[in-house]
A = this chain, B = another copy of it.
Amino acid sequence: MTELDTRSQILIAAEERFSLYGYNKTTMVEIASDCNMSAANLYRFFDNKLDIGAGLANQCLAEKENELAVIVADNLMTSAEKLHAFVVNILHYTYRRFDVAPRLSELIEAMTIQRPEVMKSHRNSTIILLRRLLEQSVDAGEFEFSDIDATAEAINTAITVFYLPAVMPLFSLEEFESKAKSVCDLLVNGLSKIKT
Taking Cβ atoms with an 8 Å cutoff, the residues of A that contact B are 116, 145, 150-151, 153-155, 157-161, 164, 166-167, 170, 179, 182-183, 185-191
Contacts and interface: CB of A to CB of B under 8 A. Distances in A.
Contact of A161 (B161, B179, B182, B185): B161
Contact of A190 (B116, B167, B186): B186
A153 B170 contact: no
Given A150-B185, A157-B161, 5 more contacts: A151-B186, A153-B179, A155-B186, A158-B183, A187-B187
Contacts of A116: 170
A190 B187 CA distance: 6
Number of copies of chain A assembled together: 2
Interface residues of chain A: helix, strand, loop or mixed (majority): helix
Nearest to A169: B116
Given A166-B166, A190-B190, A182 B154 contact: yes
A191 B182 CA distance: 13
Contacts of A161: 157, 160-161
A145 B195 CA distance: 10
Contacts of A159: 158
B160 A167 contact: yes
A117 B41 CA distance: 52
A153 B159 CA distance: 13
A150 B179 CA distance: 9
A84 B126 CA distance: 25
Given A153-B179, A164-B164, A179-B153, A186 B158 contact: yes
A154 B161 CA distance: 12
A116 B175 CA distance: 17
A122 to B, nearest CB: 13
Contacts of A150: 182, 185
